[in-house]
Amino acid sequence: MPQLCWYFQLHQPYRLRDLSIFDLGSEPSYFGQVERDANREVFQKVAQKSYIPMLSLLYRLTQAVPEFVFAISGSGVFLEQAAEFAPEVIAWLKKLTTTGQMEWLSETYHHSLASLYSPAEFQRQVAAHAQKLDELFQVRPTVFRNTELVYSNDVAQLVAELGYQGMLTEAVDRYLNGQPKTTVYQDVSGQLKLLLKHAQLSDDIAFRFSERSWQWYPLTVDRYLEWLEVYPESEVINLFMDFETFGEHQWESTGIFDFFEKLIRRFVERDWNSYKTPSQLFASAKLGSLPTYNVPQPISWADVDRDLTAWVDNAFQRDCLRLVYELEPAILASRDAQLINDWRRLQTSDHFYYMCTKWSADGDVHAYFSPYESPYEAYRRFSIVLADVKRRLSLVT
């Protein structure tokens, strides 16, 4: 069997309030609500169903299986909400950090697409996230993961310039040119090491586990181990997925927690099997001797095509992204801390994801994750808030 590298992503956006044009000028909170705070409700619900039970399971497994190691990242907006709405989540993350078996990864604080629109803002958000991790957990990650695993040759250059030894991204067949996804790569400049997600094996757990129409339902640990055994010991399987896979996307009643626990325990029953963190894999890989992953156009881990269309497929999305980043010089020059913070929260990629008008299988996934009744409602809410941000900006410049 191969080496296994587990990575889990923790993120929750700040959802927008249902404001009307008549609210413009009243300077309301765009994200929090006094009577019924949807952000608090959602976070606390998911904390009880997913975050707390899975974090506690991960801790038990670190104690029971010393060989078990894994990586995790949490956006800054996730960590903010955890501290405010469910402090127990932060407590569990601190406990796991002290085990030495969990590796923290860096990312953009606001889970943004700044790497595609503003290198300077990207650097600021990465620095803010690193500061947050140091403040909460006293860690300084050496490995990076971009929002939604967005990656390109240009993005790799930005990340390398920040001093990271490597980053995670998606394995996309059209850029692999027949090369395997089960090895460590380097970027085209030879400055950055890369790990590529094994989409099929990751999504068998993250998306297909409870799908009754799937030919392998119900997925058993024995069957999954058989799939892993196809790969030799020298290869690495990167299993990357949203943390909410456990308990939220796949409910406890599906058996997902029991499946995961048994899989972790049984995988290392054979002496040649091993778990690795990204930094451990990068430490044994030498730049210059690695295969190159040449990605001239941005990719991501979203949707069937693994491209950017989840966020930039229609005019709504493209216009909103353009308008948000056009405000950058004036927003920063205002030195208005609240205005800058609101502007950065508007950069969170989820807002544009909710505006997606794709249909078929991709559209079903977008609809599942969206808190709004339609992409047009997502656009309406965002547009009203953006108009009010512009009004406030005009008053301070």
Element (H, E) at 274: strand 274-275
Question: Rounded to an integer, what distance in angstroms lies between the CA atom of residue 14 and that of residue 12?
Answer: 7
Q: Do 337 and 186 touch, CB atoms closer than 8 A?
A: no
Q: Which 3 state secondary structure label does DSSP give 233?
A: coil
Specify whether 148 is catalytic.
yes
- List, as one string, the DSSP characters of 87-143: HHHHHHHHHHHHHT-EEE-B--TT-B-HHHH-HHHHHHHHHHHHHHHHHHH----SE
Q: What long-range pairs does 376-379 form, CB within 8 A, spacing at least 24?
A: 376/316, 378/351, 378/354, 379/316, 379/320, 379/355
> Of 103, 148, 170, 248, which one is the catalytic site residue?
148
Question: Rounded to an integer, what distance in angstroms lies between the CA atom of residue 274 and that of residue 347?
Answer: 39
Q: What is the dihedral of CA 282, 288, 290, 291, to 10 degrees?
A: 140
Residues involved in catalysis:
148
